[in-house]
Amino acid sequence: MVVQNRPAGRAVAIGVAIAMACAALVAPTLAQAQPEARTSAKKDVQVIAFQQSWNTIAKECTDTYGPEGVAYVEVSPPQESIQGTQWWTSYQPVSYKLDSKLGTEAEFKNMIKQCNAAGVDIIADVVINQTTGSDVAAGDQKGVAGSDYNGSTGTYPGFATSQYPGGITDSDFHGCKRNISDYTNQQEVQECRLSSMWDFDSESEKVQDIQSDYLVSLWNAGVRAFRMDAVKHINTNSMKALKEKFAQKIGKNANDIYWIQEVIGNSSEASGIQPSNYLQNGTVTQFGFKSEMNQAFKDKIAKLKGLKDRLDKDIDSANANVFVTNWDTARNQGALTYKDGSRFQLANAFMLAYDYGTPRLLSDYKWDVNDNGAPGATDTKVPDVDMGSACSANSSDWNCEQRWTSTRGMIAFHNYAGDAAVTDWQDDGDSNIAFSRDGKGFIAINNSKDDKNASYTTSLADGEYCDVYAVMDCSKTVTVKGGKVETKIPAHSAIALYAGATKTSHPQASAAKDPSDPDIGQQDDEVSATDKTVTIYYKPANATGRPPRSTTVWAMTGTSRKPT
């Protein structure tokens, strides 16, 4: 197993933070300077800016992500794709040009420059397993940037490079033309088609050359981390060869390139497609974590005791990327979402407070139809959004999770706690838990419908601390006395304290709460405790003839995954 070296999160200098604060005094947000204890802390929090334009993200890096201590923003696939308003069209590339419905190549590079100036690195979502479906509209088609392609014949001249001026043809795909149905057969999973989409011959020297050139173009644009999509459908040794070819072209050691691989494990499937096989290349996504969150916060959160020990047996913490939900799981059940109110908010707080894995948050838009693209999206473009305006209330088309009071506070908590271990675990066997982070932090979560008069032990030093879950300006405090926290924890809420945010020294803020905070007043307390988590990754072709991104359906229970 290779534990790759991750780029250290940037430490934002006080002067830079003050400059950004002056530029962002347009809303009552935490865009002010941060105390040195926060800015010098280790950073690794990732935010997925799902289906957001490059201009939108650039501004949000300056206004929000940089000041609040986010290390990475993951952007949706930046390459040219098929046309369509649906979000999944981004996952069907027709060329590797950096002109997409999210912006031009120039806008992409400017976004990276602005985010880097704010202390934030960019993760690119990279699609290299497939192109489009063979059953798209017959005849020649054009991508969002005008590149020609024919999904019926497997002809994609837009992938042309100087070495391969003819681009991609049907000979550059695996020969299997049937859809995947048997996940116990590794060859079928990695050489046949997902929902009829042409499956790249990942073992081909030509394909690896073209795809490594694409990765080089992302690197040269300033991308410093890569989320590799649908990796279980690519042989791990082919992935390794691609990464090494890419590393050689940019003069780097492959282990020094931050690599996040989407691999969904299932013990009943072929052994060769399990997440552990891919650790030789980099980190992997830990889907078991989101399943644990979904079940515990809809049942008894006391069951989260010992979570790290359980998950470490599957994927060790250093190689696990954890999340409460992502865009796939949110739209296809099996995960908590913004629609779950306080449960979603509390689960994200737990993730940021806990000591397992690298946390990933989701900045998403609100949706009722799973396939719907971003608000205002056309077949070829997603409009820019001013998040300062969109998030000025909690009633907009965007859920604005990156700006919530609790998110801001818990990112600061997470960065301050660093590698400190979870200690002092306490629970009531049901809906209340509490734990410390070895003298650096303390959190108590009340997932019930009733207030909790609590008395908890903590390793935090005695003193008066800001409740960073509840407020940004330290207008609410909690006292630690004699190693005890004795306070009332509101229903469907939490308290979170860390040693860098005390009554006498705390992060500055121009308001107590962010206006985008979700309304949990109408919390539904009746939730089934026998939830059968379902995640859909590739959907069958829809009525338009375009094959959306997803067909494989899994029922998930904890960290076990069984096909339905």
pLDDT tens digits along 313-360: 999 999 999 999 999 887 887 899 999 999 999 999 999 999 999 999
Amino acid identity, position 206: K
Q: Lowest-confidence range among 17-26, 142-151, 173-182, 240-249? A: 17-26
pLDDT digits (tens, 9 = 90+) for 467-477: 999 999 999 99
The Cα 134–Cα 153 span in angstroms is 7
Per-residue pLDDT at 417 = 97
Which one has a higher pLDDT value, 510 or 209? Answer: 209
Question: Residue 36 and residue 210: Cα distance in Å, rounded?
Answer: 44
Task: Give 137 or 74, the one with higher predicted confidence.
Answer: 74
pLDDT of 464 over the 50 cut: yes
Of 310 and 328, more confident: 310
Q: What is the mean pLDDT of residues 272-279?
A: 96
Mean of pLDDT over the chain: 87
pLDDT of 137: 66
Residue 198, pLDDT above cutoff 50:
yes
- Phi-psi label, residue 16: left if phi above 0, alpha if psi -120 to 50, beta otherwise: alpha
Give the model's pLDDT for residue 461: 97
**What's the rounded Cα separation, in Å, for the pair 216 and 239?**
15
363 has which bridge partners? 49
Which residues neighbour 293 within 8 Å (Cβ) at sequence distance 6 or greater?
324, 335, 336, 347, 350, 351
CATH 2.60.40.1180 placement within the chain: 422-498
Residue 385 — φ and ψ, nearest 5°? -130, 135
Q: What is the pLDDT of residue 40?
A: 41
CATH architecture of residue range(s) 46-129+203-403: Alpha-Beta Barrel (3.20)
Active-site positions? 229, 262
Q: Is the pLDDT reported for residue 552 higher than 80? A: no
User: Where are the domain boundaries for CATH 3.20.20.80 in the chain?
Assistant: 46-129+203-403
Predicted local confidence at residue 330, as pLDDT:
79
Residue 506 CA, chain-centre distance (Å), reads: 28
State whether CATH 2.60.40.1180 applies to domain 422-498. yes
pLDDT for residue 141: 94
3-state helix, strand, coil in the chain (%, to 5): 30, 20, 50
Mean pLDDT, residues 252-263: 97
Q: Which residues on adjacent β-strands are paired with residue 90? A: none
pLDDT tens profile 408-425:
999 999 999 999 999 999
Instruction: Decide the pairing of beta strands 283-285 and 320-323.
Output: parallel
- pLDDT at position 26 is 35
pLDDT over threshold 60, residue 485: yes
What tokens does 388 get? 């300062």
